[in-house]
């Protein structure tokens, strides 16, 4: 009789979809790559409070919106943004069709690997590179180009696909939030259509939860088939003060949690923090040159052109109770491929 009851109990729990779940869950740490300490505790405390119906800080499931910057927050942004590496490699790939680029800046700088001349071309030069490599094709064609590039491209230092350079602790955090009823969004200064082909596999974030910078598109009929053509004109820059604008436009709700790593995320965290009730704002600080990179210039770290974390951002974080994640001490592991 006892074994019959045990079998029945098993059948019922299995039918309920979580055979011996409470025990199993207690044994697996959903944030296994985080070192124990106040940073990890801040995450767990936030989620406990937000999901506890008896708590005055309870957040109804529909309002559990969490927004994540991408470059430097979810994956590596050094020695340059991945999308810039893509643009430079595309210029080289397209060069045979553009003989004029051999003598025309900023293209010449790219073809000559002349980073000094490229830097001298400034933002205007960068915009020219983006338009030459990101516009002039349909959205479907661009998706194929991006997907093919990610399959072949390798990061120069780690010699791995860029999609393997995601931060394992942040991937766990995304999953942990989703397991607790949060909807996770990416809100990046990067191109929305550059990210969408990979976010589901890399982060479990579907395309409709990706917000980013964009160029204009136009609906056209091509041989009787409708296409969206990518035009060489900026539509929206999802950075700095653009992040709250993009969040409001796409989501129409204020997030209750926001994660960034640079001055470009300041307004997203301010906007998130200005809502009432339970909140969590976090900034990743890159202070681990051995395992990843170290830059600031906050906390005396070297200055950078990609992902500036200024002293004034650190001051604001301190005064507003934003939690600074220190890669070196808070993360047991940075990449999934580490032993």
d(CA 212, CA 250): 10
Which of positions 48-87 make contact with its own copies (CB under 8 A)? 62, 65
Q: Which residues on neighbouring strands pair with residue 287, listed in sequence order?
A: 294
Between CA 317 and CA 329, with CA 323 as vertex, the angle to 5 degrees is 120
The single residue among 4, 225, 300, 319 that binds its own copies, judged by CB under 8 A, is 225
The single residue among 214, 261, 262, 304 that binds its own copies, judged by CB under 8 A, is 214
The single residue among 189, 244, 260, 264 that binds its own copies, judged by CB under 8 A, is 244
The single residue among 261, 267, 278, 285 that binds its own copies, judged by CB under 8 A, is 267
Q: What is the pairing mode between strands 210-222 and 225-236?
A: antiparallel
- Cβ-proximal residues to 44 (8 Å cutoff; 6+ apart), any chain: 31
CA contacts within 13 A on the Cβ side of 139: 16
Nearer residue to its own copies within complex by CB, 2 or 124: 2
Report which of 189, 186, 184 is spatially closest to residue 197, judged by C-alpha positions.
Answer: 186
The single residue among 34, 142, 162, 250 that binds its own copies, judged by CB under 8 A, is 250
Q: Is 206 in the site for its own copies (CB under 8 A)?
A: yes
Report which of 326, 293, 334, 287 is spatially closest to residue 33, judged by C-alpha positions.
Answer: 334
Which of positions 84-103 make contact with its own copies (CB under 8 A)? none
Q: For tokens 């070297």, what's the residue?
A: 302
- For residue 277, count other CB atoms closer than 10 A to its CB: 12
- For residue 155, count other CB atoms closer than 10 A to its CB: 18
Q: How far is the CB of 182 from its own copies (least distance, A)?
A: 13
The single residue among 135, 251, 301, 323 that binds its own copies, judged by CB under 8 A, is 251
Nearer residue to its own copies within complex by CB, 94 or 140: 140
Q: Is the separation of the CB atoms in 283 and 269 below 8 Å?
A: yes
The single residue among 1, 5, 15, 28 that binds its own copies, judged by CB under 8 A, is 15
d(CA 133, CA 129): 6
Q: Which stretch binds its own copies (CB under 8 A): 78-86, 111-119, 128-136, 235-243?
A: 235-243
Q: How far is the CB of 38 from its own copies (least distance, A)?
A: 27
- For residue 272, count other CB atoms closer than 10 A to its CB: 26
d(CA 228, CA 219): 5
Q: Is 233 in the site for its own copies (CB under 8 A)?
A: no
The single residue among 253, 326, 328, 332 that binds its own copies, judged by CB under 8 A, is 253
Q: Is 208 in the site for its own copies (CB under 8 A)?
A: yes
Q: Is 252 in the site for its own copies (CB under 8 A)?
A: yes
Nearer residue to its own copies within complex by CB, 26 or 62: 62
Q: Is 326 in the site for its own copies (CB under 8 A)?
A: no
Q: Is 196 in the site for its own copies (CB under 8 A)?
A: yes
CB burial of residue 300 (10 Å; 0-12, 13-18, 19+): exposed
Q: Six-digit token pair at 175?
A: 């999953």
Q: Is 217 in the site for its own copies (CB under 8 A)?
A: yes
Binding site for its own copies (CB under 8 A): 12, 15-16, 62, 65, 139, 183, 192-193, 196, 200, 206-208, 210, 214, 217-219, 225-226, 228, 235, 241-242, 244-245, 248-253, 267, 270-271, 274
């Amino acid at each position: 009789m006892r074994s019959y009851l045990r079998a029945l109990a098993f059948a019922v729990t299995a039918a309920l979809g979580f055979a011996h779940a409470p025990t199993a869950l207690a044994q697996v740490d959903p944030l296994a790559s985080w070192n124990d300490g106040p940073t990890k505790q801040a995450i767990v405390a936030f989620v406990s409070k937000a999901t506890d119906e008896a708590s005055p800080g309870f957040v109804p499931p529909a309002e559990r919106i969490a927004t994540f910057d991408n470059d430097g927050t979810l994956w590596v942004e050094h020695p340059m943004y991945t999308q810039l590496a893509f643009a430079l490699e595309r210029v080289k790939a397209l060069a045979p069709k553009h003989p004029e680029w051999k003598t025309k800046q900023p293209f010449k700088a790219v073809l000559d690997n002349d980073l000094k001349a490229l830097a001298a071309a400034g933002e205007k030069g960068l915009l020219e590179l983006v338009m030459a490599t990101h516009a002039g094709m349909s959205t479907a064609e661009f998706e194929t180009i991006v997907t093919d590039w990610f399959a072949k491209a390798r990061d120069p230092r780690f010699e791995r696909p860029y999609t393997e350079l995601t931060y394992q602790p942040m991937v766990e955090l995304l999953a942990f939030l989703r397991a607790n009823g949060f909807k996770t969004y990416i809100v990046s200064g990067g191109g929305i259509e550059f990210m969408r082909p990979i976010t589901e596999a890399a982060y479990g974030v579907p395309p409709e939860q990706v917000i980013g910078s964009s160029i204009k598109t136009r609906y056209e009929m091509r041989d009787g088939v409708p296409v969206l053509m990518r035009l060489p004109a900026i539509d929206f820059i999802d950075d700095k003060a653009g992040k709250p604008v993009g969040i409001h436009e796409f989501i129409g709700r204020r997030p209750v949690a926001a994660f960034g790593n640079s001055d470009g995320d300041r307004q997203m965290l301010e906007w998130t923090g200005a809502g009432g009730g339970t909140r969590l704002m976090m900034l990743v600080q890159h202070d681990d040159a051995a395992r990843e990179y170290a830059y600031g210039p906050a906390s005396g770290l070297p200055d950078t052109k990609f992902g500036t974390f200024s002293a004034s951002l650190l001051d604001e974080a301190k005064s507003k109770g934003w939690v600074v994640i220190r890669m070196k001490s808070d993360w047991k592991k940075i990449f999934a491929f580490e032993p």
